[in-house]
Amino acid sequence: MQTKTRKPPYIPGVLAVALLAGLSVLSSCNGERDPATLFGPDERVTVVVDAVLYVDRILPEIIVTRTRAANIAFTEEAAAVNDAEVTIIQGLAEYRYERVGHLGRYLPPPGSPKVRPGTEYRLHVRALGKEIRGVTKTPGRLSFDEVVIVDETSMEVLDRLEPRTTPRNQVVYREGLMEVRFDPLDVEAYQVVVLDREADDEVSSPPLEARDGRLALPWFAIGSSGEHEVEVYALDRNLFDFLRSVEASGQNAFGFGSLAGDTFERPVFNLDGGIGVFGSASVGRFGFVVLQEDRSG
């Protein structure tokens, strides 16, 4: 099995999430309100930042865009901010980003280091005559102690998988319950992402509590056959606030684990001078192959 590096699904488009969450609230509160008033006068041209740091990966790409009136068709080109100054600061070191293309994309300078666990990083963006600042403290390193198959009734361990991606990890569909075990980190919540490589499909959870360092994986989130990969994200406070505040329904669609936090009427951004996300996460992953259940009996 090959590990596919990709951007997690929880930040597919920060601006789109902010607009949709706001429009949902407006439609439920006042059907007569003009969508263009979603943001106040000063917010209609607001800088939007999409920046997530991952422990043990190099400094990430950062996207800088601007809000548009809600009644104007959105395009990446129109929303892009291509003349921003973007800097990430860690201790005494400053990493000045460079623009790439015309879609508001900025990349770190060559030779930038990997993101450290348990470390404070600061973001400074100058754009549209404004300054946007944010701070994140990265979670500790997340590593799995074990991955087990347990009996759904007694929770007795039936089998153990290797806590990494290997073809030797094989499970029979719907036999027992898969559970990931790890030393819990000092974070508010975790997010679980299951990738079904055969169907090229992803299922992601809302923020989940796992104070005991255990997360169960429901079978409905797993395809009936083929290669799968599970990623668990330990979320910093900024990502946790953003994710829990855009969970409009307040329901745990993933099915297992306790929802962390409350629902809100508007996303929580934790940025000064703009909106969006500057956060961090630590990632653990393992892979396995699903064998079709035995129907002979």
The pLDDT of residue 1 = 41
26: part of which helix (H) or strand (E)? helix 14-29
> Do residues 81 and 23 lie in contact, with contact meaning Cβ atoms separated by under 8 Å?
no
The pLDDT score that the predictor gives to residue 250 is: 43
pLDDT at 187: 96
pLDDT number for residue 244: 85
pLDDT along the chain (297 residues), means of 10: 46 49 41 48 74 96 86 80 97 97 95 97 97 98 96 95 95 95 95 92 90 93 94 95 70 44 68 94 96 68
Q: CA 121, 49, 57, 216 torsion: positive or negative?
A: positive
All structural domains of the chain, each given as residue ranges with its CATH number in brackets, are 40-138 (2.60.40), 139-297 (2.60.40.1220)
pLDDT for 274: 92
Which pLDDT score is estimated for 243? 85
What pTM did the predictor assign?
Answer: 0.82
Task: Answer yes or no: are the C-beta atoms of 72 and 116 closer than 8 Å.
Answer: no
The pLDDT of residue 132 is 97
